[in-house]
Amino acid sequence: MHSLELPISDPAWMQFVAQRPEATLFHHPAWSHLLAEVYGYVPFVRAFVDDRGALVAALPVMEIRSVLTGRRFVSLPFTDYCPPLVSEGADSHALALALEKEWDGRAVLEIRAPLPRQPHLHPCSRATHHTLAIGTDEKALLASFDKDTRYNIRRGQRNGVTVTLDRSLEGMAAFYRLQVLTRHRLGVPVQPWRFFAHLHRLVIEPGLGFVLLARADGQLLSAAVLLNWNGTLIGKYLASDARRWAMRPNHVLIWEAIRWACQNGYHTLDFGRTDDEDEGLRRFKLGWGAREEPLTYSYLASRPPSPLGERAQRALSYVIRHSPQSVCCAIGELLYAHFG
């Protein structure tokens, strides 16, 4: 394999992505353009060609230059799972060897997928990844959920919860209000509104995603941002009003997302990342019959990565939960670009 760097909008990359059935919206140039425009990252594609010059493997990458975290490369920031794309004529072992060979020994490359271990390519897993296989038979799929999940769907429907699909900026703003509420409750910084405004313009408007809004009695109870392309529907963000959980809006909303996937020929719903310590979220996803796998990232670096200090994370979470929502937003504005 020979390495070369391509612009993120290079036609060769887009053609290669379109030919790979495992590619998702995270590989699409629209997602890279979003991250670059909002956070000032430098996007490119690290591509590998064979002796005939044919593209056989590639991964989208962001160069991050930060006064807090230094210079590093990530494939990709704010992305739960983004495996390198490899053609039938190549394999992940050859790609790992090629990455190891070209590494300059300085800036870290983080790949949000597993790759075969090499002397400087270190695996790290602190989370799980859940996906659900989708067919066309909604009744069979519903019957495959555990009894509590089925009960909660019916309960939400009896409570009058209805779900609408929205692609407007107003719909995104409605989601964002719940997102701020949710992140504040969890003690986690929230990404700035400009991120979601750009997401709307670059992803939602071109038809690569949508917002689902769950309401009852005229009140918004939960909302989600989903990304759709190439057969995979990604549940990227889910937010809700905890005071209305008894209405079971999240169950009705996710069921409607699954029904949309069935009706539009999608084969997979990606539930995304679940941190190891979040056992409640893990059980929730397993209730839908989701397949669970370790979420392993690969780091091309001189040594394996160290986790962020737990004491600092707990302190930050305490500050956010015991401060006005504006503090949650301000911290997100300050920090997200450095820790993507």
- In three-state form (DSSP H/G/I as H, E/B as E, the rest C), the secondary structure along 61-119 is EEEEEECCCEEEEEECCCCCCCCCEECCCCCHHHHHHHHHHHCCCCCEEEECCCCCCEC
CA separation for the pair 294, 275 (Å, rounded):
10
Sequence spans of domains, the chain: 2-128+297-305, 135-266
> pLDDT at residue 142 above 70?
yes
Per-residue pLDDT, 68: 87
- Name the pLDDT band for 105 (thresholds 50, 70, 90): confident
Side chain identity at residue 177, one-letter code: R
> pLDDT at residue 205 above 90?
yes
CA distances from 266 to 30, 145, 157, 257 (A): 20, 18, 24, 11
> pLDDT at residue 309 above 70?
no
Per-residue pLDDT, 126: 86
CA dihedral 284, 150, 160, 169 (to 10 degrees): 50
CA distances from 153 to 69, 254, 260, 263 (A): 43, 9, 15, 19
Per CATH, 2-128+297-305 and 135-266 having the same topology is answered: yes
Q: Quick one: 135-266 is in which CATH superfamily?
A: Gcn5-related N-acetyltransferase (GNAT) (3.40.630.30)
Residues 6+ apart with CB under 8 A from 187: 316, 317, 318, 319, 320, 321
Residue 239 C-alpha from the chain's centroid: 14
- Name the pLDDT band for 314 (thresholds 50, 70, 90): confident
Per-residue pLDDT, 280: 94
Q: What is the average per-residue pLDDT within 212-221?
A: 97
pLDDT digits (tens, 9 = 90+) for 161-203: 999 999 999 999 999 999 999 999 999 999 999 999 999 999 9
Per-residue pLDDT, 185: 96
DSSP-derived letter for residue 245 is G
Q: What is the average per-residue pLDDT within 47-54?
A: 90
Question: What's the predicted TM-score (pTM) here?
Answer: 0.95
Q: Quick one: 2-128+297-305 is in which CATH superfamily?
A: Gcn5-related N-acetyltransferase (GNAT) (3.40.630.30)
The two three-digit tokens of residue 154, written as one number: 């019916």
Q: Which of 146, 173, 175 is nearest to 163 (CA)?
A: 175
